[in-house]
A and B are shown apart, each in its own frame.
Chain A
Amino acid sequence: MLDRSAVGRTTPPTLNEVERGAIRRFAEALGDYNPIYFDAEYARASGYANVAAPPSFPISFATGSDLRELVGVPARNLLLGEVSFEYERPIVAGDRLLVTSRVSEISDRAGPAGRVEVAVIEDEGRDEEGQIVFRARRSYVVRATREA
């Protein structure tokens, strides 16, 4: 059961330093060898300030709290149904981003097999001047489990 009182719960800003090595490993894990993720010179010629992060890279950011703490259900019982990102500018190596997460919604929805519980978490990352860099929205449903 999701914790109904979790709505509005917000994590303290957590510093994420975007490292070149982390970008490289992320791109390699995807099997994506686009040189903008590996070669700073190529990335600059492509319009980035430095080696760029892949669009889904914010998934790897630490947000100061795990899901269980946020919504009262362990991550393995949550199924990611939908996700969206919005970028003010591209995230590049060397960025220092302060990331916070906030529970924006907890509700019941009609699913194929009856009602399901839904938790929506919104993340945002700001640079050290406080400028917004990206926003993300993750929508989870609680997985039906047969375990005790």
Chain B
Amino acid sequence: MPPRKLYFENVRVGDELPAMAKAPIDRVQLARYAAATNDYNPLNVDEPAAKAVGMPSVVAPSTLGLGFLGQLVTDWARGGQVKKAQARFTRMLWPTDTLVCKGRVSDRWGEGGKYFVELDVWAENQKGELVVRGTVLLKVFYSFEDETRFRTGQPPLIVTVPRQSILAAPPPPPAPRPSVGKGTAKPGKAPTTKKPAAKKPAARTAPPKKAVKPAKKASKPAKKKK
């Protein structure tokens, strides 16, 4: 069966990635991950050493959660290339933690025959607490035709699509739980909205202010509205 592909033309801002539930983290996984990363930090693999510094048990490396988010994205974006990924760890990961990874398309644009999709991604533990959140930038083909042109050495399909985030407001990313003092709140830059900005990412829910730069006349004005 040929690999299923993700194409730009099928992606919309606000699309949700299918949530991915991982099996509970266990110590065998930690041992395998330690071997795979060649990182044998005792706090990840040596129970007595972890307890000696006051931890209830060994702790999982936070990058394990990042790996899970990578899986979420590559499963969804088959045929796409991860160009950038960024993540912030908000909570420690422990054996028996069961993570659910989620994501949403936050932006998409095309210029000069290159097409990009930006995602908000995050993972929650079994208590619904946010453990890691981040953003991913993907490069994808516009369509099957665009990909075929690339493979046969022809110039790319050129469709100019301005960044959608300045045209339409996608639903806000999930409220990252108030993970105290983690500095998710960014005061001082909230655009003036009519209703009191109760949600954190005010910038996203706000009506598109006078565009940052005059977006080129979009071939198709974004009319995504939920």
Residues of A at the B interface (CB closer than 8 Å) are 22, 25-26, 28-32, 34-36, 42, 45-47, 54-56, 59-60, 62, 75-76, 79-87, 89-90, 111-112, 145-147
Which residues of B have CB within 8 Å of A84? 84-87
Q: CB < 8 Å: which of A31, A76, A85 contacts B22?
A: A31
Would you mind naming 19 contact pairs between A and B with Cβ atoms under 8 Å apart?
Answer: A32-B67, A32-B70, A35-B3, A45-B3, A47-B81, A54-B74, A55-B82, A56-B70, A60-B36, A60-B38, A60-B39, A81-B88, A83-B89, A87-B82, A87-B83, A90-B81, A111-B181, A112-B182, A146-B53
| B67 near A54: Cβ-Cβ < 8 Å | yes
Q: CB < 8 Å: which of A28, A87, A112 contacts B32?
A: A28
Q: How many CB-defined contacts (below 8 Å) exist between A and B?
A: 118
| B66 near A145: Cβ-Cβ < 8 Å | no
B95 on interface, CB distance cutoff 8 Å: no
A10 CB to closest chain B CB (Å) equals: 21
| A56 near B66: Cβ-Cβ < 8 Å | yes
Which residues of A have CB within 8 Å of B29? 29, 31
Q: Please report which residues of chain B, range 45-95, place their CB below 8 angstroms from some CB of chain A when the two chains form the complex.
A: 52-54, 61-64, 66-68, 70-71, 73-75, 78-79, 81-89
Given contacts A30-B71, A60-B38, 4 further A-B contacts (CB under 8 A): A30-B33, A46-B3, A46-B79, A145-B54
Number of interface residues of B (CB under 8 A): 46
Q: CB < 8 Å: which of A28, A31, A55, A87 contacts B74?
A: A55
| A147 near B74: Cβ-Cβ < 8 Å | no
| A86 near B22: Cβ-Cβ < 8 Å | no
| B74 near A34: Cβ-Cβ < 8 Å | yes
| B88 near A82: Cβ-Cβ < 8 Å | yes
A58 CB to closest chain B CB (Å) equals: 10
